[in-house]
Amino acid sequence: MHKKTELKNKLRVITAPIKNANSITFLVLVGTGSKYESKDVNGISHFLEHMFFKGTQKRPSTLKIAETLDMVGGEYNAFTSKEVTGFWAKVDKSHKDVALDWISDIFLNSKFEEKEIQREKGVIIEELNMYLDTPQIYVSELWEKLLYGDQPAGWPVIGEKEIIISFNRQKIIDYRENHYSSSNTIVCVAGDIISEEIEEKIKNVFGAMAEKKVGDKAKTEEFQKKPEVLIHNKKTDQTHFCLGVRGYNLFHPKRYALALLAIILGGNMSSRLFIKVRERNSLAYSIHTSADSFTDTGYLVTQAGIDHKNLEKSVRLILKEYKDLKEKEVSPKELQKAKDYLKGTMSLSLDSSDALSSFFALQESLEGKILSVEEKFKKIDQVASEDVKKTAEEIFLPEKLNLAVIGPIAQNEKKELNLSNLLEI
């Protein structure tokens, strides 16, 4: 069971006791990310996340911040996505006060010194270079660029080099002032805790955080009318691609049917595409289908790396499976297997305090309400074979289809590949 409390400054506190757990995780989640940015500061949410680890008055350097939890064997990190930014610390339960003091200190008292901002530019540019040199990561960025174009949903979370270089302390401070408020912040604690005791401790340190009006994100526009292809010409050992369709957002009634559809297609080693593409045709080592839903957008995508000469063959095989799901209902046995897989992986993933804190906090931040595991299981069980078929009929349409490719394919070869004509389902 979890408990949610709202402080006077509108900051939400969620506690999730786990009896006899060894660890406790503190997660501070803020409702902002790259979708909240303007073009001239694209990447600043992620940059700001890095800057929380550079020094406070109490811990004046990166070393002092890092060694606080290193000295007790703790784990800690932060993340930035399209719609949220999070900071977390996981420690043995005997060190819960150390973790709370640490995470509240970096979150509330960071100095954001100009010299540290200048240093961090080099770090983040190297992080960006790493992603650009990793085609199985970069192709996902191209996929979202293809779907959404020149708007926040289509921009990279990390930003672009020219914009990153332009950041200074004033821009960092301005963004924090305009997007960090007690009203869009959640503190979630999971582990062997007493809820009332932890709530009081959190109130004592986060209760003074300012409540203020924060900037909202622009609504994502979707305007696709025909199949689209984006090719990034790069010398690689494999051709990497993302092939998929526009799907549903977090609030859509068919969201769970979409998740099961993705599992049936390519969610595990007994899925249709894993067997067809890898085991029967030896075209890929790894192939995976996932359904991603955000507050105002969503998609289903299949990703794989294959030999350069096998791109068309691979695309045809995947599209055939997409088409089959439109035309025939999945059997009760196959659907039940997907349901049991989804529930089983969800259950296993929530064994740890860090996963449980994310489970509750992300729901509260993105959806404004929290479903228990049992409530989610009930929604999964309610999906029928006809729901999966109707979902397939709605999403597997030529005008929703997209293909992003990285490989040694020059633009003048695009017509020879005839990919646009190939993208028919």
CB 28 within 8 A of CB 86: yes
Kindly report, as residue ranges, where domains of CATH 3.30.830.10 are found in the chain: 3-206, 228-422
Using the Cα atoms of residue 394, residue 396, residue 399 and residue 404 in order, give the sign of their dihedral.
Answer: positive
Mean pLDDT (the chain, rounded): 96
- Beginning with the edge strand found earlier in the chain, give each strand of the sheet holding 23-30 in spatial order: 3-6, 12-17, 185-191, 23-30, 85-92, 75-80
Segment 226-245 shows an average pLDDT of 95
pLDDT value at residue 413: 58
Segment 348-370 shows an average pLDDT of 96
| Cα three-residue angle 103-104-110, rounded to 5 degrees | 90
Segment 138-148 shows an average pLDDT of 98
CB 228 within 8 A of CB 414: no
Instruction: Specify the CATH number for 3-206; select among 3.30.70.100, 1.10.8.50, 3.40.190.150, 3.30.830.10.
Output: 3.30.830.10
Cα–Cα distance, 320 to 301 (Å, whole number): 15
pLDDT value at residue 425: 73
pLDDT value at residue 414: 56
Confidence of residue 1 (pLDDT cuts 50, 70, 90): confident
Q: Encode pLDDT of 263-279 as tens digits.
A: 999 999 999 999 999 99
CA atoms lying within 13 Å on the CB side of residue 2: 26
Q: Do β-strands 401-407 and 239-246 pair in parallel, antiparallel, or remain unpaired?
A: antiparallel
pLDDT value at residue 3: 96
Residue type, 295: T
What is the CB neighbour count within 10 angstroms for residue 48? Answer: 26
CB 261 within 8 A of CB 300: yes
49 is catalytic: yes
Of 37, 49, 141, 228, the active-site residue reads 49
Which CATH architecture fits 228-422? 2-Layer Sandwich (3.30)
Segment 399-415 shows an average pLDDT of 82
pLDDT at 420 over 90: no
